[in-house]
């Protein structure tokens, strides 16, 4: 199967600090990775598309200066939530696109961010 890991699985931070979340594809190379956020009892909302070696593409309404994405290798993408505030508290999930021909996305286990 296709395995994606995320680290950390949960994080609690103070308001105003920055938090970095890592997303790794463990058994496949992912030229494209995606970052989602999910609020309780809601569906996944796409935040941005992360492409290896190029700038991320952000969805409408997502602040690129607040949610910094770096896709430095074919197996690693990072999301940094800068100057986090309580309203940024959410479940952040990444996914890797294993095969662009078949559009199969495989998701990480998610990171629970709580900003105090």
Partner 1 sequence: GQQLNQSPQSMFIQEGEDVSMNCTSSSIFNTWLWYKQEPGEGPVLLIALYKAGELTSNGRLTAQFGITRKDSFLNISASIPSDVGIYFCAGVLSSNTGKLIFGQGTTLQVKP
Decide: 37 and 92 in contact? Cβ < 8 Å. Answer: yes
E strands present in 26-89: 32-38, 45-51, 57-58, 67-73, 76-81
Give the helix, strand, coil percentages of the chain, each rounded to 5.
5, 55, 45
Q: Which of 19, 93, 113, 115 binds partner 1 (CB under 8 A)?
A: 93
Contact segment (CB under 8 A) with partner 1 among 14-22, 61-69, 70-78, 107-115 equals 107-115
- What's the rounded Cα separation, in Å, for the pair 44 and 15? 24
- For partner 1, the binding residues in 16-75 under the rule CB under 8 A are 32, 34, 42-44, 46, 49
Q: Which of 25, 78, 95, 113 binds partner 1 (CB under 8 A)?
A: 95
Residue 90 binding partner 1, by CB under 8 A? no
Q: Which residues contact partner 1 (rule: CB under 8 A)?
A: 4, 6, 32, 34, 42-44, 46, 49, 93, 95, 97, 100-110, 112
């Amino acid at each position: 199967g296709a395995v994606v890991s995320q680290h950390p699985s949960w994080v609690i931070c103070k308001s105003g600090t920055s938090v970095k979340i890592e997303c790794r594809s463990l058994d496949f190379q992912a030229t494209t990775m995606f970052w989602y956020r999910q609020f309780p009892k809601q569906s996944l909302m796409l935040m941005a598309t992360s492409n290896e070696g190029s700038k991320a593409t952000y969805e409408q309404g997502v602040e690129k200066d607040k949610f910094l994405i770096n896709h430095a290798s074919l197996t690693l993408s990072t999301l940094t939530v800068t100057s986090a505030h309580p309203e940024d508290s959410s479940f952040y999930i990444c996914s890797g696109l294993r095969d662009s021909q078949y559009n199969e996305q495989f998701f990480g286990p998610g990171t629970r961010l709580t900003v105090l």
